[in-house]
Amino acid sequence: MSQSDITDKNKNANSLAQSPIKFTGLKLRKPSDSAGGVTAILSTAKHILEEMDLGRGTTTLLKANQKFGFDCPGCAWPDPKKRSSIGEFCENGAKAIAEETTLKKVTLSFFNKYTIEELGNQSDYWLGKQGRITHPMILKKGRNKYEEISWKEAFDFIALELNSLKNPDEAAFYTSGRTSNEAAFLYQLFVRKFGTNNLPDCSNMCHESSGTGLSETLGIGKGSVTLGDFNHAEVILVMGQNPGTNHPRMLSALEKAKKKGSIIISINPLKESGLVNFTDPKQPLEILKGGTDLCDHFLQVKINGDQALLKSIMCLLFEEEEKAPGKVFDQEFIKTYTDDYESLISDLKNYNVEQLAIQAGIPLPKIKEIAKILSQKRKIIVCWAMGLTQHKNGVANIKEVVNLLLLKGSIGKPGAGTCPVRGHSNVQGDRTMGIWETPPKYLLDNLKSTFSFNPPEKHGYNTVEVIHAMHKEKVAIFFALGGNFLSATPDTEFTAEALQKCNLTVHISTKLNRSHVIHGKNALILPCLGRTEKDLQKEGWQFVSVENSMGVVHKSQGYLSPASPTLLSEPAIIANIATKTFENDSSINWLKLIANYDSIRDLIETVIPGFDNYNQRVRKEDGFELPNCARDKSFKPIGGKAKFSVNPLTNYKLEEGELMMMTIRSHDQFNTTIYGLHDRYRGIYNERRVILMNIADIKKLGLRKEEVVDLTSHFEGEVRMVENFIVVPYEIPEKCAATYFPETNVLVPINHYADKSMTPASKSIIIKVKKKP
């Protein structure tokens, strides 16, 4: 069946929960063998000019990630101490900034024009491209259009609904990683004073497995390296990550490391352009010479074969350690700083290296080559992202990374350590501020002593749990501080049903997204300032602060005039809701706190460890580093020593005709935000409904290139289906496949998640590919 036939037949067949089925004209080219360069410059210019004039775009970009500018609303990669005067941004950061600073507006006339159904029949891309929301809006029960509401009426409405609940646990408060430290702290304070720990957040869906695995083995759920460590590393392993698209500024750090002699090893089911070659767009000479080859070794592991690979490497290292004790493992480090070494070694003896290699999908000679390299090095950094965390064994994957680093003594020394690369620009800071459904005791104790109320001790709902709770009508109010909850979560139809059962859904947003279309019986959109915009409060021009992926806290100050004079900052929205909700309780003067954000930071200093002299230190050019017990090798939270761990090997069995699918981002995408329809580095243009398959699997299943197929996922007897995906031959291991999210989130079962962390297992979905009748 042709693509045009499918488009005409099914253009209104899908539910409003999913982007409509409408093919846009797939074009395939050869995947790129380099990232950055002139094409990145041209792409940046194109996206900027689509949203604003050149002057506004240029002046805005030149303030991005500068010491007295604003923090990019994109990824959480840290800023170098020496910033480039040409620009300290990347192509995808520029796209994020263009989206926020666009001159396009979603005004009252827009909402008067479109019904909910009409908005739902538009694509995610179209929704996001309409511009900035200018006014608070309400969708009343039984109505089919959003209508204007004043801020006072909105605050009154929310407070009335919250205070009408029988139990505070009937409300849930989600957070996006874009939220500043100041807003996040106020938010969790409001929520806990209200009486619940229902604080699910976006980290539940990405690096929760990292936080869990690292906390249990090293005592801290954050990475141990600093940006400077990349200058001293002997080996850098990049696992389950595509930095060229998801964290492009990381490529500059890898380039510098490579030029200093680091060996870079990429481990991933897809060979990503950014780890093949990088041409720094800010360096004309690099462009002329063709950039820098980054990856010395590429291991094309099967989807979720990483644990088997890591175990095989450790087994081979142990064989060499037995031949020359103390020459391969850092026995002094192991004795001084770790526990449970013997348990790990005993477990490794149970494995057959040949079988591990088969499960990993890597030839044993290649694994031996990597093991030999690692045997001779002691300064090793392991970087990773969702390719390790979004599996049932996601926590185990992280613990195996830690096992390898502990064996080599590669924790707490220059050039060595753990590097979970966070996605959103303050997702790590939000957790530090207390956005956590399972708060630590110190946080509750400090809140109690500082604010004289008893915070709830009962653990709240994480993301998966809150979806179930809404579905069972145990949660009646869903409040989202940023983000696109529906498109970010698993099991799209199930999640949509859950949201629609709520009495009220509230979204603090800058732009339209699908979560505004799938709503509770009543729904509110509260438009807020963006990171780039000037935040004027009663006592003047304010700044906020964020924490990057390596634990550095620094300031961010917008300078552009707001997209609308009606917009409020996130802290102001939270403070006003709190003021109205607790209008008979004056123990906290919420409005005074937002008059000058220094007041919020003074409270953070009192409640959150590591923020001594917060207002003074955050004003320094480079901010300040938070304490890190893995970096200083104290490991205090887990008894003073790091822990080796024994992790049973996970091995999925695929039946005949089944493939293991992982969801991925395109190059024109950041999380759920779709900037465009191209995936330039992979050679896929003008289409998102594609499935990347190995050519052998295509032939075996009797399919052909660009054939339109349906996909079904299979989990515990449950079958889920998405229709009309185009087959794209690609260099991916046999029995593996890749698709873009959020289009295939519908295939991710709500109950398929990582042990312990409950991170949705979006990168290990068993599917079948069905020919169209």
For 604-641, how does the pLDDT look when each residue is reduced to its tens digit (9 = 90+)? 999 999 999 999 999 999 999 999 999 999 999 999 99
pLDDT digit string, tens, across residues 401-453: 999 999 999 999 999 999 999 878 899 999 999 999 999 999 999 999 999 99
- What's the DSSP call for residue 168? G
Give residue 153's pLDDT: 98
Residue 365's pLDDT is 98
The edge-to-edge listing of strands for the beta sheet with 263-267 is 297-299, 263-267, 235-239, 380-384, 417-420
pLDDT in tens, 506-527: 999 999 999 999 999 999 999 9
Q: Is 55 exposed, middle or buried (0-12, 13-18, 19+ CB in 10 A)?
A: exposed
Q: What percent of the chain stands above pLDDT 70? A: 98
The CB density around residue 582, as the number of other CB atoms within 10 Å, is 18
- In sequence order, the 6+-apart residues with CB closer than 8 A to the CB of 288 are none
| Residues 6+ away with beta carbon under 8 Å from 90 | 40, 74, 248, 249
Rounded distance, CA 626 to CA 637, Å? Answer: 15
Please name which of 294, 223, 224 lies closest in space to residue 263, comparing C-alpha atoms: 294
Residue with tokens 């019904």: 115
Q: Could you report the per-residue pLDDT of 83-98, keeping only the tens digit for each?
A: 777 788 889 999 999 9
What pLDDT shows up at residue 741? 95
Q: What per-residue confidence (pLDDT) applies to 506?
A: 98
Whole-angstrom CA distances from 355 to 51, 363, 367, 388 are 53, 11, 12, 20
Query: Using one digit for the tens of pLDDT, what is the confidence trace for 234-291?
Result: 999 999 999 988 888 899 999 999 999 999 999 999 999 999 999 999 888 889 999 9
3-state SS assignment for residue 597: coil
On whether the CB atoms of residues 158 and 506 are closer than 8 A, the answer is: yes
Q: Please report the pLDDT score of residue 80 as a whole number.
A: 86
In this prediction, residue 322 has a pLDDT band, given cuts at 50, 70 and 90, of: very high
Average pLDDT for the chain = 94
Sequential DSSP letters for 666-697: -TTEETTEE--S-BGGGTEES---EEEE-HHH
- Residue 103 half-sphere exposure, CB side, CA atoms within 13 Å? 12
For residues 589-598, average pLDDT: 98
Q: How far apart are CA 465 and CA 474, in angstroms?
A: 11
pLDDT value of position 286: 87
The answer, yes or no, to whether residue 6 has pLDDT greater than 60, is: no
pLDDT-derived band at 19, boundaries 50, 70, 90: confident
Average pLDDT over residues 222-241: 97
Tell how far CA 608 is from the center of its chain.
23
pLDDT at 85: 73
Rounded to an integer, what distance in angstroms lies between the CA atom of residue 470 and that of residue 476?
7
Q: In whole angstroms, what is the distance from residue 513 CA to residue 502 CA?
A: 18
Confidence check: pLDDT of 357 > 80 = yes
Structure tokens at 407: 């064996």
Higher-pLDDT residue of 11, 234: 234
Residue 117, classified by CB atoms within 10 Å of its CB into exposed (0-12), middle (13-18) or buried (19+), is exposed
pLDDT of residue 75: 86
pLDDT score recorded for residue 651: 84
Question: Residue 67: what pLDDT?
Answer: 86
Strand duo 673-674 + 669-670: pairing:
antiparallel
pLDDT, residue 2, reads: 45
Give the per-residue pLDDT at 11: 32
Q: Which strand (E) or helix (H) includes residue 243?
A: helix 243-246
Residue 556: its pLDDT value, please? 95
β 277-279/477-481 pair status: unpaired
Ranges assigned E (strand) in 559-606: none
Taking the C-alpha atoms of residue 119 and residue 144, their distance in angstroms, rounded to an integer, is 10
Q: Provide the pLDDT for residue 773.
A: 86
At 680 the pLDDT is 95
Which pLDDT value is given to residue 20?
Answer: 76
In whole angstroms, how large is the CA radius of gyration of the chain? 25
647-690: pLDDT as tens digits? 999 988 899 999 999 999 999 999 899 999 999 999 999 999 99
Sign of CA dihedral 184, 185, 186, 191: positive
Percent of the chain whose predicted confidence (pLDDT) is above 90: 90
